Each structure stands twice: as structure tokens, then as C-alpha cells.
Amino acid sequence: MTTIANYVRNIKVFFNYLFEIERELAKKIHNGQKGDSQWLIAGWELLSTQRIFDEWNVWKELSDKGTFNEWDVESQEGITNVWWQQSWIPLTYNGCGDHHCLDLAPTAKGTEGQIISMWHDSAEREVLAASYKQWFEYLVCNFEGNDAEFVFDSGDFDFKATK
């Protein structure tokens, strides 16, 4: 399949996935955070659709230049062993180039739609949840179960729903 065909397929899968999430989560897509508000999740920005596109495009441009061709990666089982790929859709951003991504092209041992960690300066790639729904529900429960102000100020927040 050509790169353009892969790109179109990934975009279709992504928007179909958003549609499923929309139905499951109160029939409404949360469109990230507004403006320059304080980052919502322990020092991480929950990206709007525009910010998702912006961050994804930064990584695509770097990938297109061959920036990651020689970089070693340590992906957990179920995640494609690459530094970055177009089918990883960033959902959060910490201001340093790190993301939690929706993985639309896992390996055969992964799950399409799993949430993974993607660090700009670390080769480690880890599955955080089997689905967006599992991950987001876990974040809400984790946040509600702790002192929210401490979690936000310290950045001490566990994003891994799969243990």
C-alpha cells in the first residue's frame, strides 16, 4: 500500500474511532482544553483537535526528513518498534515533546486503539491502556482518588491503566 493510501486509511480509522468514542462518552467529543488554560492532567495538556493536528504534523515533518531512521527503539510487545509512525495520534503534550498517543497500527500482539507512551528523548514505548475509554476512565478515577492539587502541582500522576 502506498504512503498516501496508508495516510488516508489511518485518518479514516482515526475519525471512525473518534465517532465510537463520541457515542460511548456522552455523545459528545471533548475537544481538549481552551486557550492558555492551566494544563488539565498533572502538567499535561489534553490536546484539542487542532493541537492534535499541530503536534502530529511536527512528528510527520521530522519523520519525512528521515530524522528517526537510525534511532534505536525499545517498544513493549504490541507496539511497532519504530521511533514514531503516522498512525500514532497524540492526545496529550507535556511541553517537552512527549505524548500519550492513540495507536492505530499496533503489531499483531497489540490492540488497535491502544494508548501508548511516546517520548521525544527516550526509546521506551509502553502500552498504557487497551483503549481510549479504559485510559480516560482510569485517569479520572486516579485523579479523583488523590489530592487533585498535589497531583497537578507535583506531576506525580500514573498514566498506566494496564498493570
Total count of domains within the chain: 1
Any domain includes 56: yes
- Convert the pLDDT of each residue in 87-112 to its tens digit: 999 999 988 999 999 999 999 999 99
Residues of the chain where predicted confidence (pLDDT) is lower than 70: 1-2, 4-5, 7-8, 11-12, 15-16, 18-42, 146-163
Any domain includes 100: yes
Any domain includes 24: no
Q: Give the pLDDT score at 60.
A: 94
Q: What is the pTM of this model?
A: 0.73
Q: Give the pLDDT score at 26.
A: 39
Any domain includes 38: yes
Task: Compute the distance between CA of residue 42 and CA of residue 133 in angstroms, rounded to an integer.
Answer: 19
Q: Give the pLDDT score at 22.
A: 57
Any domain includes 2: no
Q: Give the pLDDT score at 112.
A: 93
Any domain includes 76: yes
- Convert the pLDDT of each residue in 125-139 to its tens digit: 999 999 988 988 887
Task: Compute the distance between CA of residue 120 and CA of residue 114 in angstroms, rounded to an integer.
Answer: 19
Any domain includes 6: no
Domain hosting residue 77, numbered range: 31-154
Any domain includes 60: yes
